[in-house]
A and B are shown apart, each in its own frame.
Chain A
Amino acid sequence: MADLRDQTLAFRLRREWPAYVYLLPVTIVLLFLNAYPIAYTIYISMTDFGTGPKGSLLHYHYVGLANYDYVISHQSSTILQLVGNSFFWAGGCIALFLLVGLGLACVLNQPLRGKTIYRTLILLPWAFPAFITLLVWAGMWDYEYGIINGVLNAIGIHSVDWLLSPDNAWAALFITNVWLSFPFYTVVFLATMQAIPKDLYEAASIDGAGALSQFRRITLPYLRPTIVFVGLMGFLFTFNNFYPIYLLTNGGPGLSTQIFITQSYSDAFGAHGAAPLYSTAAMYSVLDFLIIIVLTVVVIWGADLTRNWLR
C-alpha cells in the first residue's frame, strides 16, 4: 500500500478514514490521561503551589519561570547533582546491562550441555514482579539484619554499610538493578545472535579467523542495530526508573543517589513529613521530561547520521 503515498489527500482520506475511528478511543484516553496532566504539570511548575505563602495550597498564583529561576540561581548545585546522578544511574546501568547481557549471550550461544536449563534459570528474576523483589532486596542490603552482610560475615568479611555511604549505596543499586534486568538483555542478544547465518562463521574459520576476530567482524556488526535500539530504550527507561532508588535508598544518604524522578516524588509527597511542594515537584518533572526529549532527538538524529555514514 506504499503507492498510496503518491495519491491525493482526498483520495487517501476516502480510503483510509477508518483508521481515525480505530484511533479515536486511544486518542481520547491519551489526551485525558497523558496530554492534559502533562500540560497541567507544566502549568503547576509555573505557580507557587505549595511554595507560596501559607494557605497557598488552595489559592496559588501564576509566577512565570520564577521557580526555575530560583533553583538555577540558588540551588544550582542540587540541579547539577540531580543531572549527574540521573546520567550516572542510567549510563552505569546500561553499560552493565550490555556487558553482562552480551557476555552471557556469547557463552550461551555455543553448543553446551544443559543450555536450556541455564537459560530458564537465568530468566527467573525477570519473571518476578520488580516491585516485590525490590522490597526484599531492600531488606537484604540492611546493615544489621541483611542476608548479604550475613553471608559476608560467614566467610569472614566485616559488614559493609551498603545503603549508608554514597559509594556503597550506588554499588547496591547497580547490583540490584543488574539482577532485575540482565535476563532480558541476555535473551534479546541471544535471540539476535541465533539469527546470524552459521555459514558466515564457517567461512571465517576456514579463512583462519580466530574467535575474537569472528566476534568483531561478524557478531558485533550483526548486533549493532540491536545494541543501539535496546541500549537507547533501556537508557530512557532506567533514567526514569523510580522504584529501585525509591525503595532502596530513597535518594540517600543525603542527595547522593537522588535522581530527578525520586526528588520530584519526595517533594510532592513530603518526604520526612515535610509539606508538599507541588510546584517544585512539577518543575523537576518538567526538567526530567525536557532532558529525555533532547536525548531522544539527539540519539535518533545521531543514529540516522551514523547509518547514512556507514552505508
Chain B
Amino acid sequence: MRVRPRRRWVRLAKRVASHLVLILACAFALFPIYFIVVTSLSTLPIAAITAHVLVPNPHSLTAASYNTILYHLSPSFLALMTNSLIFAGSAAATGLALAAFTGFALSKFNFPGRRTFVYFILLISLFPGVLLVIPYYFMFNSLGLIDTYLGLIIPYSAGAVVFSGILVKNYMDSIPDDIEEAALVDGLSRTQAFFRVLIPLCYPVLGLAAFLAFLGPYTDFALAHLFITTTNLETLALGIYSINSGDQGTQNYGLVTAFAVVMSLPIVAFYLAFQRYIIGGLTLGAVRG
C-alpha cells in the first residue's frame, strides 16, 4: 500500500469526529438522568427550576426530598414498595414458569398443531395490551376481584408470557439436541432431562424472562389505576403518578425526581449487573435474523 501523508490527517479527523458523535450521543442519553438526580437533590419550588440548577452549588444540595419520600409519604413508601413487590414478584414467578414450559414444548417437541399454536399465540399478542384493561375490568368485576391482590396478580401473570416464551424457545433452539439425548441415554425421562439438564443451561434466558415479567407490573399504570380504589393496595407506579399530578399538595419536582430515582434504582442496578445476559437474550432472535 502506498502511504500518503494526507491519509494520517484523514484518519485523525475521522477519530475526532467519531469521539464528537459519541460525546453528543452520551450527552443526549445522560442529560435527563443528570437532570433527575440534580433536581432530586434540590428543594427549589418548581418555578425556580431553570438552567442554572444544572450546575448546582454543592452547598445547596440536600437530601430533604429523599427524606420526605422515604419517611413522610402516606401511604408510606414502604407500603407502596411492598405492594409493588408482591405484584411484580408473583408475576415474575408465574411468568418464569410459563415461559420455561412454553419454550421447552415449542423448541424440543414436534407435536401435531405446533405451527397453529405458534400462529395463535402470535396473533393474540398483537392485540394492544393496554386496551385489555377494559374487558379485564368487567371480567374481574363480575368475579368480585376488583381491588384485591388476586385481581391484579392474575392479569399481571400473562403480561410478557408470549414474548418470553419465544425468547426461551430461541435460546433452547441453540442448545444441541445431543445434550438432551445424552441425558435420555443415561436413563433420565424427558421430564427429568428438562428439569435437570435443560433448565440449568437456560438460566440466563430464564432470568431475563423473570426480569421482563417483573418489570411490567412494577411500572404498570393503566391496570393498577383502574383496579385499585383503596389506598392499601397502591403501588409505586400509582404513587409517583399521584405525586407528579400534584395530588399530594402542590406539584414538587424534587419529590417526583427523588421518587423516580429510588424507584428506578433496583431496576438500573439489576440491569447494569446483568447487562450482558439481558442484551444477549434480547438480541438472540434479532441477530440471527
Contact = CB atoms under 8 A, between A and B. Distances in A.
B122 to A, nearest CB: 8
Given A40-B138, A121-B26, A154 B112 contact: no
A265 B131 contact: yes
A247 to B, nearest CB: 9
Contacts of B199: none
A75 interface: no
A301 interface: no
Contact of A5 (B110, B257, B267, B287): B110
Interface in A143-175: 144-145, 147, 150-151, 153-154
Nearest to B99: A26
B77 to A, nearest CB: 14
Given A16-B109, A29-B157, A29-B158, A154 B130 contact: no
A123 B26 CA distance: 9
Interface string B249-272: 000010011001001100110011
Contact of B275 (A123, A151, A261): A123
Contact of A104 (B25, B139, B221): B25
Interface string A109-123: 010101000101111
A61 interface: no
B97 A240 contact: no
Contact of B130 (A33, A182, A261): A261
Contacts of A285: 127-128, 131, 134
Given A133-B32, A261-B131, A282-B134, A26 B101 contact: yes
Contact of A150 (B50, B136, B244): B50
Interface string B223-263: 00010000000000100110010000000010011001001
Interface string A185-206: 0011001100100000000000
B37 to A, nearest CB: 11
B54 interface: yes
Nearest to A38: B127
Interface string B86-123: 00000000000110011011001111101001000101
B283 interface: yes
Interface in A258-280: 261, 264-265, 268-269, 278
Contacts of A34: 124-125, 127, 132, 158
Contact of B222 (A23, A108, A125, A265): A265
B126 interface: yes
Contacts of B112: 9, 12-13, 16
A240 B128 contact: yes
B35 interface: yes
B218 A179 contact: no
A196 to B, nearest CB: 11
B50 A29 contact: no
A80 interface: no
A283 B281 CA distance: 36
Nearest to A130: B219
Contacts of B177: 1
Interface stretch (A66-74, A88-96, A223-231, A249-257): A223-231
A289 B158 contact: no
A299 interface: no
Interface string B1-40: 0000000000000010011011001101110110110000
A289 B104 contact: no
Contacts, number: 260
A236 interface: yes
Contacts of B241: 135
Contacts of B21: 103-104, 107
- Classify chain A: how many residues form its interface, as a range: 35 or more
B30 A127 contact: no
A191 B279 contact: yes
Contacts of B190: 18
B32 A136 contact: yes
Given A112-B19, A129-B267, A154-B51, A179 B240 contact: no
Contact of B111 (A20, A153, A192, A261): A20
A53 interface: no
27 contacts: A2-B110, A4-B110, A16-B112, A19-B114, A23-B102, A25-B101, A29-B158, A33-B155, A33-B157, A34-B127, A38-B124, A38-B127, A41-B131, A44-B135, A122-B26, A125-B33, A127-B267, A130-B219, A135-B240, A135-B244, A138-B244, A147-B50, A153-B51, A179-B28, A230-B286, A261-B130, A292-B128
Interface of A: 1-2, 4-5, 9, 12-13, 16-20, 22-23, 25-26, 29-30, 33-38, 40-41, 44, 103-104, 107-108, 110, 112, 114, 118, 120-133, 135-140, 144-145, 147, 150-151, 153-154, 179, 182-184, 187-188, 191-192, 195, 224-226, 228-230, 233, 236, 240, 242-243, 261, 264-265, 268-269, 278, 281-282, 285, 288-289, 292-293, 296
